[in-house]
Structure 1
Amino acid sequence: MTAENSAIAPVRVAIPARRGRDRAGLLLAAAGVTAFSLTFPATVWAMDGLGPWTVTTARTVLAALIAGCCLTVARVPLPARRHWPGLALVAAGCVAGFPLLTTLALQTSGTAHAAVVVGLLPLTTAGYAAARTGHRPAPAFWGAAAAGAAVVLAFAIHQSGGAPTAGDLYLFAALLICAAGYGEGARLAGLMPGWQVISWGLAGCLPLAVPGLAIALLAEPARLTGQTAAGLLWLATGSSLLGMVVWYRGLARAGVARASQLQLAQPLLTVVWSVALLGEPLSPAAPVAAVAVLACIAVTQRAHGAGRAGRP
């Protein structure tokens, strides 16, 4: 083999390998989106017999106990001290902040409305990733992501009668804190297994979640029903743990900015679940907005590769 051929050969292997890695990452991220799309209906089910603070703390306690058992059985050592700030942000954003704020929002917002507002999350996540890692997607990527965000904002304002509601304020705050948790979790998932990232985040919240649950049970009425139990079970295992495991792994493999745009499909899926599982009336604007924002996914996926890469 000549020197010229030897220089070319690795390229022929590396490109398909990279494409395969991206494809696997996108599939993992899609599995996470599917799990997350059931979060709002499950929260409504859980609130059939519990208050919002009880639901938030109970799901965290249950998920943290499962995660702690997994860490103990696998004999996973404590993460390096340099990873603690990132894990704290994962805990604050994804384990505590986002679930609490969205649960409070669902007291006054329907699940379809809340789901479409959360369609802004891919844009905020991509923005955080660009600031944190130095990655610069192509202008067409930002244009498509911003177009999806504009549709979401227009829908939210239309549904609220021209002005944001208290529920929308909760949702917008949840977007910001969750984007940071997603970005840090994806970064850490490149350094340790994704299940360990979310497991340590959950375990770190346990000392606060246990007394928080005790206080919530004293302050809020509690009535355990079949729907309540089913909702809590999914929130603890599907949304808080298993969904986050595949989501972080997908973000780490395919890139935060690119994989996060798959979450544009989450509103459409949640609208389907809210009608099928909760019997909510379907606003004509909800599916239109969800489909419009879904159409932006193809553009973001095609445009992403043309950007200027920074640190991985």
Structure 2
Amino acid sequence: MNFRIQNIQTGWLHGFIGVAIFAGSMPATRVAVQGFSPEFLTGARACIAALLAFILLYMLKQPKPSAQQIKSLCIVSIGVIIGFPLFTALALQTQTAANSLIFVALLPLATAFFAVLRAKEIPQLTFWLYAGAGSALVIFFMLQQSGMHGLTLSDLYMIIAVLLCGLGYAEGGVLSRTLGGWQVICWALIMALPLMFPMFLVYLPHNFQQIPIAAYIGLAYVSIFSMLIGFFFWYKGLALGGIAKIGQIQLIQPFIGLMLCAVLLNEQISLLMITVSLAVVSCVVMAKKYA
């Protein structure tokens, strides 16, 4: 019992560190897309991280994953290496980083949903009631922002990004129990390289001199921290403490992200953003009780 409690506590610590790193992803991506196209940014961050991953796997002589694990790694790649980075970058061309963080507030619910499908974790009915309430609040926010004219294209991009990320988190959390946390993201990056490297080449900027320094800094952050180091802690936390439970630590990500947006990007944080974020977090906190 003590060993189990210790695992959960260690899982919470790892999860918290991972979320703190991920909180900088939206602001960094917002800065990066001011100089790079979403397609190039997605390919470049994956290629840079994959190079570092290959060095780690080679130096530490890690065994190759099994055929079954490769299937899971493909799902992880689609979710967190291709899908989430690409669709958030597309959304952040026209949407502020602060606005996108409202959608990120739904990540705990998406992660828990896929934990049911992939990890066979079965929440109670009450969980889904609160999850539905949280989703309804985000839809309300989207309609308010678009003047009640329905979803914008950037909203749709963020919804797809959150769903794919939740899938990648849940699948990676399950796989981390047998393959190891940092090994999962490293192998997933290698798996995605045949697709990401051509994307990197096709969308290579014609003139790097016109790209602002801030865009390079954003690219470096999402490549090294968001795409690699953050997952070392995150997948370890999910494996130790449970996907649905540890996934709720993402509650703090919108708040850290909003502070970063205000400080680093001088973006305006509206009262509606804060109110909806708090309301969504309240729904997820209650959902956690039944997860």
TM-score by length of 2: 0.93
Higher mean alpha-carbon deviation, 203-212 vs 138-147, is at 138-147
Corresponding position: 1:81 with 2:67: yes
Return 5+ residue gaps in structure 1 as ranges: 1-13, 305-312
- Rounded to whole Å, the distance in 1 between the matches of 2:146 and 2:198 is 36
Q: CA deviation at 1:148?
A: 2.6
Q: Aligned partners of 1:133 and 1:209: how far apart in 2?
A: 28
Quote the Cα distance in structure 2 between the aligned partners of 1:141 and 1:220.
51
Change over 3 Å in CA distance of 1:219–1:204 after alignment to 2: farther
Q: What do residues 67-118 of structure 1 show as CA deviations (whole Å, max 9, x unaligned)?
A: 1110111111211111111000111110011100110011121111111012
Task: Give the direction of change, closer, same or farther, for the CA distance of 1:254–1:300 in structure 2 (3 Å limit).
Answer: farther
Unaligned runs of 5+ in 2: none
Structure 1 residue 286, shift from structure 2 partner: 0.6
Q: 2:266 aligns with which of 279, 295, 302?
A: 279
| 1:291 and 2:256 aligned | no
Residue 53 of structure 1: CA displacement? 1.3
What corresponds to 2:243 in structure 1?
A: 256
Q: Counterpart of 2:183?
A: 196
C-alpha contact 1:27 1:250 (8 A) present in aligned 2: yes
Deviations 1:97-149 (A, max 9, x none): 11001100111211111110122222122111112232222344333333333
The ranges of structure 1 where at least 4 consecutive aligned residues each deviate by more than 4 angstroms after the TM superposition are 218-222
Aligned to 2:38: 52
Per-residue Cα deviation, 1:210-237 (whole angstroms, up to 9, x for no partner): 2211110157977343211211111011
Partner of 2:253: 266
- Percent identical across equivalent pairs? 36
Distance change in 2, residues 1:222/1:151 (3 Å)? farther
- C-alpha distance in 2, partners of 1:195/1:116? 28
- My pick for the range that moved more, 135-144 or 196-205, is 135-144
The one-character-per-residue Cα deviations of 1:278-305 (angstroms, maximum 9, x if unpaired) are 001122211111122233454344444x
- What letter matches 2:162 in structure 1? L
Q: State whether structure 2 residue 218 is matched by structure 1 residue 237.
A: no
Q: What is the rounded CA distance, in whole Å, between the counterparts of 2:103 and 2:199 in structure 1?
A: 28
Partner SS state of residue 268, structure 2: coil
Q: After alignment, is 130-139 or 241-250 more displaced?
A: 130-139
Asked if structure 2 preserves the Cα contact closer than 8 Å seen for 1:98 and 1:174, the reply is yes
| Contact 2:109/2:284 (8 A) holds in 1 | no
Is 1:71 the counterpart of 2:57? The answer is: yes
Distance change in 2, residues 1:147/1:24 (3 Å): farther
C-alpha deviation, 1:160, in angstroms: 1.7
Q: 2:98 aligns with which of 112, 120, 130?
A: 112
Query: Does residue 136 of the first structure (1) align with residue 136 of the second (2)?
Result: no
In structure 2, relative to structure 1, the CA distance for the partners of 1:144 and 1:28 (3 Å cut) is farther
The amino acid across from 1:223 in the alignment is Q
Which SS does the other structure have where 1:122 is aligned?
Answer: helix
Is 1:31 the counterpart of 2:17? The answer is yes
| Alignment-mate amino acid for residue 240 of structure 1 | M
Larger Rg: 1
* 1:117-128 → structure 2 map (5 Å cutoff): 117-128=103-114
The total of aligned residue pairs comes to 290
- Residue 219 to residue 96, structure 1, CA distance change in 2 (3 Å): farther
TM-score (structure 1 length as normaliser): 0.87
Distance 1:150 1:23 in 2: 32
In the alignment, the residues of structure 2 paired with residue 267 and residue 149 of structure 1 have an alpha-carbon distance, to the nearest angstrom, of 15
> What RMSD over aligned residues (CA atoms) do the two structures have, in Å?
1.8
1:209 Cα offset (Å): 1.7
